[in-house]
Amino acid sequence: MQQRLKSLLKLIWWLLVLTFVSLFLYKNLNATLEIISKLPLVVVSVAFLAILVAKLLLVQVMHLALNRYQIDLGYRRCFTIYNITQLGKYIPGSIWQYVGRITLYKEAEINNANIRDTLLLETFWIVFSALLIGICLILLTQHTLIIELLKQLPGYLIHPLSLGLFAALIVLLAVLFRKTVQHYAKQFMFSPIAGLVVSTLWLCLGFSFWITLSPYASQEISFIYIVGLYALSYALGFAVPFAPAGIGVREAVLVMGLLPYLDANTAIVLATINRLFYIISEILLVLVSNHLTVRKTKEGLTS
């Protein structure tokens, strides 16, 4: 029942997103074409290439998560498994990319416990790093604005006593569930290599978006801010279970974060273009992965 409800919500979300895009294009087609025409081909190429590099780094995250449990499928096999299953996340149900991954893991003779643990570890590394980097970089670049926003909150929420009680509650929960916290802290801890990979991943994705903004911005936009904004949008998109691959949610966060620098129409168009680049890169990598799989099968038959 719960899965059916999630599938229904995902389908409704798809329809809402498609309706919004259709209405937006209908009302702003000429303006949209004018915005797109200002994007230099070299910028488009570099942005797309940065997304491709980021997708390769996502494969490396998967590879490192498997290695944590002493499972080495090799990067090439991880590449094909990861990319062949990626388009499943756009199918209503929210599980098909995982179903495909689990099936291929079982074919590789990985036991159920390791399949569960590696998927959890990989997901945690990606989502937690996105949330952490997003919050830290936005705080770093927008601290003045955030302080002003905090001043608008009711005084009792930011009173030293309230903050102290909240901190004491966190410490108490950590003590009460010490063994659980220690277990998961050890299990999900970033290795130096994993930390470097996910950091580079968000730099690439942030760069892919940032480089498309300069022809339109009324003032200089901080690269660090855009990296943080993109990472945060990714984490928030993942947190909405009925938004496939965070579609709609990620773009909404990006648009809101750009409003101080761009008009809403331009921000919507650029966020949508970035999503299209992302989807096209996934389709391209699926085709490459299928080709590699077919070639390996033929080599196995002839040997």
Q: What is the DSSP string of 11-33?
A: HHHHHHHHHHHHHHHHHHHHHHH
Contact yes or no for 240/246 (Cβ under 8 A): yes
Averaged pLDDT of the chain: 81
The HSE-up count of residue 53 (CA atoms within 13 Å, CB side) is 18
Which pLDDT does position 108 carry in this prediction? Answer: 86
Residue 170, both tokens: 């966190």
Which pLDDT does position 184 carry in this prediction? Answer: 55
Which pLDDT does position 231 carry in this prediction? Answer: 95
pTM of the model: 0.84
- Would you kindly state where each structural domain of the chain is located, as residue ranges? 2-19+40-302
Q: How far is it, in rounded angstroms, from Cα 135 to Cα 114? A: 31
Contact yes or no for 119/98 (Cβ under 8 A): yes
Instruction: Print pLDDT tens along the chain (303 aa).
Output: 555 666 666 667 667 777 877 787 778 778 788 888 888 899 999 999 999 999 999 999 999 999 988 888 889 999 999 988 887 777 765 567 778 888 888 988 889 988 988 998 998 999 999 999 999 999 888 766 556 555 555 655 555 655 566 567 666 666 665 665 555 556 667 788 999 999 999 999 999 999 999 888 777 889 999 999 999 999 998 887 767 777 888 999 999 899 888 888 899 999 999 999 999 999 999 999 888 877 776 666 565
Residue 178, both tokens: 């010490």
Residues, the chain, total? 303
* Phi and psi angles of residue 296, each rounded to the nearest 5 degrees, phi first: -65, -40
Which pLDDT does position 18 carry in this prediction? Answer: 78
Which pLDDT does position 234 carry in this prediction? Answer: 93
Which pLDDT does position 3 carry in this prediction? Answer: 59
Which pLDDT does position 29 carry in this prediction? Answer: 78
DSSP notation for 175-234: HHTHHHHHHHHHHHPPPHHHHHHHHHHHHHHHHHHHTTTTTT-SS---HHHHHHHHHHHH
Closest among 89, 289, 126 to 201, alpha carbons compared = 126
Which pLDDT does position 8 carry in this prediction? Answer: 67
Q: How far is it, in rounded angstroms, from Cα 267 to Cα 256? A: 8
Contact yes or no for 55/285 (Cβ under 8 A): yes
Contact yes or no for 258/267 (Cβ under 8 A): yes
Q: How far is it, in rounded angstroms, from Cα 262 to Cα 226? A: 13
